[in-house]
Structure 1
């Protein structure tokens, strides 16, 4: 394992974040804070508790997950797209660096950025809502696992996209709607039985439900199922990345 090459890619990607702090960190934190103000403080004060949890606190895991997933995809996809777009990816591929080391460098940096952002949003939420984390170790583990999974998904999108517009299609047209319909702002138990069944086909439900369990000990789906679904999605992404490097899809053409 060439740790020097991993460190070089990782440090390069992290340095880009510090150069764009307003866009990479401040903007998502401020946007999520507005959700806390509107839904947590204004609307939440007029709503009854859900599963014994105040509405303002109930939406915290969903909002963190929403930012975590979108930022993980954005960071990883842009990170690999720019070298592909500019042609510098060929220099990386011709260097004595394995596919595994390239993925660890890019995905590791993207996941680190997203994890830091998620923790910042969690700290910011304390300014607006009072909450407790019942299972902090599980919460952190789920946070990191989701960041790695969606960073790898973003890496795939970055390789697939050949225009800047394509980088935004899946996050805006698929991930964001699935997040809003995945129980970010409500419990799926509040839906009619038919729509509860339909909602279970939404993979984001399992992510939000498992993350919410780590906070309050309540979930729409069993924690084991949520963790299992996340690991399955991670495995699918790993297989897709393996296939990309095996075939050279859009990297060697």
Structure 2
């Protein structure tokens, strides 16, 4: 393993977050805080508990997961698209660095930024609602796995996109709607039976359900299934990225 190359890519990508602190860190925290104010403190005070958990506390894992998905995809897709756009990706590809080492550098930095944001929002949520974490180690595991998995997915989008507008198509038209419909603000058990079955086709349901279980010990789906779905999607993304580097798809054109 070329640790120097991995470290150089990782630190370069991570430094971009500090250079654009307002956009990378402050904006997601402020926008998510507004959800806590409106849905958690204001609306949540007038709603019944869900699975024995106050509504304001119930939506905390869902909001963190929703932010984690969008930020992981955004960080990773922009991180790999910029070298393609500027043409510096050819210098990276010609260097004595394997595709897996390149992947660790870019995806590792994107996932690190997302995890830091997730933890900051977790702390910020305490200012608005009271919550507990029954399984902190599982919470950290779901947080890291989700950040890495969707950073891999964002990496694929960054390679696939051949224009700035395409970087936003998948997150805006697919991932965000799936996150809203994946139980961020409700339990799927509150839906009619037919819609419960349809909701289980949404992969984000499993992510949010498993993450929520680590907080309160309640979930819509077995946590083991949630973990398996996350790992399965991660493996799928790795297979696709491996194929991209072997064939040079959108990298050597």
Aligning the two structures, in what range does the TM-score lie when normalised by the shorter sequence? over 0.9
2:155 maps to which residue?
A: 155
Note the C-alpha offset of 1:147.
0.1
Q: Does 1:99 align with 2:99?
A: yes
Q: Does 1:179 align with 2:173?
A: no
The size of the alignment, in residue pairs, is: 253
Note the C-alpha offset of 1:171.
0.3
2:136 maps to which residue?
A: 136
Mapping 1:208-219, distance limit 5 Å: 208-219=208-219
Mapping 1:57-136, distance limit 5 Å: 57-136=57-136
What TM-score results when the alignment is normalised by the length of structure 1? 1.00
Gapped runs of 5+ residues in structure 2? none
2:197 maps to which residue?
A: 197
CA displacement, residues 79-137 of structure 1 (integer Å, 9 cap, x when unaligned) = 00000011000000001111010000000000000000000000000000001100000
- Structure 1 ranges of 4+ moved more than 6 A: none
Mapping 1:9-48, distance limit 5 Å: 9-48=9-48
Rounded Cα–Cα distance in structure 1 between residues aligned with 2:246 and 2:198: 36
CA RMSD, aligned part only? 0.3
Q: Does 1:5 align with 2:43?
A: no
1:168 maps to which residue?
A: 168
Gapped runs of 5+ residues in structure 1? none
CA displacement, residues 156-179 of structure 1 (integer Å, 9 cap, x when unaligned) = 000000101000000000000000
Mapping 1:224-243, distance limit 5 Å: 224-243=224-243
CA displacement, residues 130-153 of structure 1 (integer Å, 9 cap, x when unaligned) = 011000000001000000000000
Note the C-alpha offset of 1:207.
0.1
Rounded Cα–Cα distance in structure 1 between residues aligned with 2:90 and 2:249: 13
CA displacement, residues 191-228 of structure 1 (integer Å, 9 cap, x when unaligned) = 00000000000000000000000000000000011101
What TM-score results when the alignment is normalised by the length of structure 2? 1.00
2:54 maps to which residue?
A: 54
Provide the secondary structure at the position in 2 that maps to 1:244.
helix
